Amino acid sequence: MMRIAVITGASSGIGREFARQIPRLYHSLDELWVVARRTDRLKELVKESEVPVRIFDGDMMRDYIFSRIEKELERYSADIRMLVNAAGYGKIGAAEELEMEEQCGMIDLNCRSLTKLTLLCLPYMTKGSRIINIASAAAFAPQPGFAVYAATKSYVYSFSQAIREETKGRGIVVTAVCPGPVDTEFFDRAGELKNFWKATVRADAPGVVRQALRDSVRRKPVSVYGAAMKGARVLAKIVPDAQIASAMAWMSKGSRESG
pLDDT digits (tens, 9 = 90+) for 158-191: 999 999 999 999 999 999 999 877 655 554 454 4
Task: Output the pLDDT for position 180.
Answer: 78
Work out the end-to-end distance of the chain between its first and last CA atoms, rounded to an integer number of angstroms.
57
Is pLDDT of 255 > 60? no
Q: Percentage of residues in the chain with pLDDT exceeding 70? A: 79
Is pLDDT of 257 > 50? no
Closest Cα partner for 212 from 176, 183, 185, 182?
A: 176
CATH of the domain at 214: 3.40.50.720
- Rounded Cα–Cα distance for residues 233 and 178 (Å): 9
Confidence of residue 251 (pLDDT cuts 50, 70, 90): low
- Rounded Cα–Cα distance for residues 45 and 32 (Å): 10
Is pLDDT of 226 > 80? no
Is pLDDT of 212 > 60? yes
Phi-psi region of 230 (alpha: psi -120 to 50; beta: other; left: phi over 0): alpha
Cα 207 to Cα 2, 162, 211, 213, 214, distances in angstroms = 29, 26, 6, 10, 11
Is pLDDT of 249 > 90? no
- Rounded Cα–Cα distance for residues 90 and 103 (Å): 8
Angle (deg, nearest 10), helices 13-25 and 205-217: 50
What number is the average pLDDT over the span 184-200? 49
Neighbours of 62 (CB within 10 A): 12
Q: What is the average pLDDT value for the chain, to the nearest integer?
A: 86
The long-range contacts involving 42-51, CB below 8 angstroms and separated by at least 24 positions, are: 42/10, 42/11, 45/10, 45/16, 45/19, 48/20, 49/19, 49/20, 49/23, 50/23, 50/24, 51/23
- Rounded Cα–Cα distance for residues 29 and 127 (Å): 15
Task: Output the pLDDT for position 50.
Answer: 87
Confidence of residue 4 (pLDDT cuts 50, 70, 90): very high
Task: Output the pLDDT for position 258.
Answer: 34
DSSP letters of 25-42? H-TT-SEEEEEES-HHHH
Q: Which domain holds residue 188?
A: 3-258
Neighbours of 259 (CB within 10 A): 8
Asked if 131 and 172 count as a contact pair (C-beta separation under 8 A), the reply is yes
Of 60-69, 156-165, 184-193, 219-228, give the lowest mean pLDDT range.
Answer: 184-193
Task: Output the pLDDT for position 197.
Answer: 45
pTM score: 0.85
Task: Output the pLDDT for position 39.
Answer: 94
Is pLDDT of 247 > 90? no
Closest Cα partner for 193 from 135, 111, 138?
A: 138
Number of domains in the chain: 1
DSSP letters of 174-235? EEEE--S-BSSTHHHHH-----HHHHHTPBPHHHHHHHHHHHHHTT-SEE--SHHHHHHHHH
Confidence of residue 27 (pLDDT cuts 50, 70, 90): confident
Task: Output the pLDDT for position 243.
Answer: 63
Confidence of residue 200 (pLDDT cuts 50, 70, 90): low
pLDDT digits 0-9 by tens, 104-120:
999 999 999 999 999 99
